[in-house]
Amino acid sequence: MTSTPPRLDPRTRMLLDAPITPTLLRLAVPNIAVMFAQAAIGLVETYFVGRLGTDALAGMALVFPLVMLMQMTSAGAMGGGIASAIARALGAGRREDAHRLVWQAVAIALGFGVACTAAMWLAGGWLYARMGGEGPVLAAALTYSHWVFGGAVLVWLFNSLAAVVRGTGNMALPALVTIAGVVVAVPLSPMLISGWGPIPPLGIAGGAIALLLYYLGGTVALALYLRSRRSLLQPAWSQAQLNWPLMRGVLRVGLLGAVSTAATNLSIGIATGLAGHWGAGAIAGYGTGARLEYLLVPLVFGLGAPLVAMVGTSMGAGRPERALRAAAIGAALAFGMTTVIGVAAALWPLAWLRLFGQDPAMLEAGTSYLRAVGPFYGFFGVGLVLYFASQGAGRLMWPVLGNLLRLLVAGAGGLIVVAWGGTLAQVFAAQAAALVVYGLVIAWSIAGGAWFGRVGWPRWPGRENATLAGVALPSDR
């Protein structure tokens, strides 16, 4: 007697059977809108902090890589592990495991959130000083850091619950929650920074407080949705316990992703420290220019989040060829989008930099960065979107290696430039070379079969002989 295969939810069926390109684009639109809405908070915050002076802007630039590390780890690395685990469980018809994974996500958020707070409260001052902060710049960095990392649990809870929902293929709900929060946070940030009516000016701390209020509201909204009948997942209070096999599946992907995310932010942190050899204006200029690179992260994440769900669901359902095709299409789309932005920034750097200040040293350093690195942003887009696809496949070794190579090229190259008395532009050239290495290594490894075994060539399956690293690949639409 043959067993009946589990009935799949319509959204899961869409991820398995719908045409790839239009489905990815349709699912990406709300995510891209969400990520740009989130970026708007940071841009508004940076604009009003810039009005406090170059010292405040430079102090914020010191903290920014660490804040982005936390956000990218919770949303992209560990969040990707959560979304990937849920997508694979739903693709395989394991609905009860998917319910239990919600509680594993909450436990991860609480644990890592508390760890972030403790680490930055204890070591933040030492770290910012090593990155070149001193005097009023260091004081501004510590003020902002203590506030924003004091609420790290809220950041982790919001991003973990959003990953839970995205893992089901529902991209719209996190988008709605985020946009609603941004509508409140964008005016709130300048009100708290500069003061308004009975609200006293809180300075740089006001931006951090506005950010935390945004995450608090979003966390409450996502939690209420998951407790409602509209949610595909129905986590019961009786399931609120640690499940090590499920937790291990999330951490296996998430921790590797965290290494990759740390390498990305460490590359920028090292470059920030190296820029400090040319003064506070250079730190502010590089930090402001690098914000555009960080702005690419939400853009690519908008495409990468549905790619995690599509690749994970396809792998869980035993359809690896569809997963590979989705990754290739996603890489092409990401390369095109990020290249256009990078080339535009290289041609017209002041259009971006003057949004945040008019200091000549800041503008000069920022222009140098964008002209050196901007034309190569496409390789960053390819590497990042294939990192998300690899999260869906549950295979992250090569994306992590690619990011570590990026760190090595950027860090070693920059240190050599400083040791040999080179220029700031040459430090940025090392950053550009690192992006090329990052994108090419990850694309080469996946095309060579990294998801299915040892990398080797040729590994792409032909239609008449659809095998990949010994794994039979079913025909796909």
Q: pLDDT tens-digit profile of 238-297? A: 777 888 888 888 898 888 888 887 887 788 778 888 887 887 778 888 888 887 887 788
8 A C-beta contact, residue 10 and residue 277? no
pLDDT digits (tens, 9 = 90+) for 167-186: 887 878 888 898 888 888 88
Q: Average pLDDT, stretch 369-378?
A: 94
Measured CA to CA, the distance from residue 233 to residue 241 in angstroms comes to 16
Measured CA to CA, the distance from residue 293 to residue 428 in angstroms comes to 13
Give yes or no for residue 48 having a pLDDT over 80: no
Give yes or no for residue 468 having a pLDDT over 50: no
The pLDDT of residue 466 = 35
The residue that leads in pLDDT, 94 or 2, is: 94
8 A C-beta contact, residue 372 and residue 429? yes
8 A C-beta contact, residue 247 and residue 229? no
- Is pTM beyond 0.85? Reply is no
Give yes or no for residue 409 having a pLDDT over 90: yes
Length of the chain: 477
Q: Average pLDDT, stretch 77-101?
A: 84
Q: How confident is the model at residue 472 (pLDDT cuts 50, 70, 90)?
A: very low
Measured CA to CA, the distance from residue 148 to residue 136 in angstroms comes to 19
Q: Average pLDDT, stretch 22-32?
A: 82
Measured CA to CA, the distance from residue 369 to residue 350 in angstroms comes to 11
- The residues pairing with 468 across neighbouring beta strands, listed in sequence order, are 471
Q: Average pLDDT, stretch 349-354?
A: 88
CA 115 to chain centre: 19
Q: How confident is the model at residue 157 (pLDDT cuts 50, 70, 90)?
A: very high
Q: How confident is the model at residue 406 (pLDDT cuts 50, 70, 90)?
A: very high
Q: Average pLDDT, stretch 314-328?
A: 86
Looking up tokens 């950053």 gives: 431
Q: Which residues contact 424 (CB under 8 A, 6 or more apart)?
A: 275, 278, 282, 365, 368
Report the range out of 202-206, 346-350, 421-425 with the highest average pLDDT. 346-350
The pLDDT of residue 279 = 78
Q: Average pLDDT, stretch 120-139?
A: 88
Q: How confident is the model at residue 110 (pLDDT cuts 50, 70, 90)?
A: very high
- What share of the chain in percent tops pLDDT 70? 92
CB count in 10 Å sphere of residue 105: 32
8 A C-beta contact, residue 454 and residue 469? yes
The pLDDT of residue 316 = 77
Can you read off the two tokens belonging to residue 213?
């209020």
Give yes or no for residue 33 having a pLDDT over 80: no
CA 286 to chain centre: 20
The pLDDT of residue 476 = 36
Phi, psi angle pair for 199, to nearest 5°: -85, 120
8 A C-beta contact, residue 263 and residue 407? yes
3-state secondary structure the chain: CCCCCCCCCHHHHHHHHCCHHHHHHHHHHHHHHHHHHHHHHHHHHHHHHHCCCHHHHHHHHHHHHHHHHHHHHHHHHHHHHHHHHHHHHHHCCCHHHHHHHHHHHHHHHHHHHHHHHHHHHHHHHHHHHHCCCCHHHHHHHHHHHHHHHHCHHHHHHHHHHHHHHHHCCCCHHHHHHHHHHHHHHHHHHHHHHHCECCECCCCHHHHHHHHHHHHHHHHHHHHHHHCCCCCCCCCCHHHCCCCHHHHHHHHHHHHHHHHHHHHHHHHHHHHHHHHHHHCHHHHHHHHHHHHHHHHHHHHHHHHHHHHHHHHHHHHHCCCHHHHHHHHHHHHHHHHHHHHHHHHHHHHCHHHHHCCCCCCHHHHHHHHHHHHHHHHHHHHHHHHHHHHHHHHHHCCCHHHHHHHHHHHHHHHHHHHHHHHCCCCHHHHHHHHHHHHHHHHHHHHHHHHCCCCCCCCCCCCCCCCCCCEECCEECCCCC
Q: Average pLDDT, stretch 408-418?
A: 91
- Per the prediction, the chain carries an average pLDDT of 83
Q: How confident is the model at residue 1 (pLDDT cuts 50, 70, 90)?
A: very low
The pLDDT of residue 41 = 73
Q: How confident is the model at residue 144 (pLDDT cuts 50, 70, 90)?
A: very high
pLDDT digits (tens, 9 = 90+) for 186-204: 888 888 988 888 888 888 8
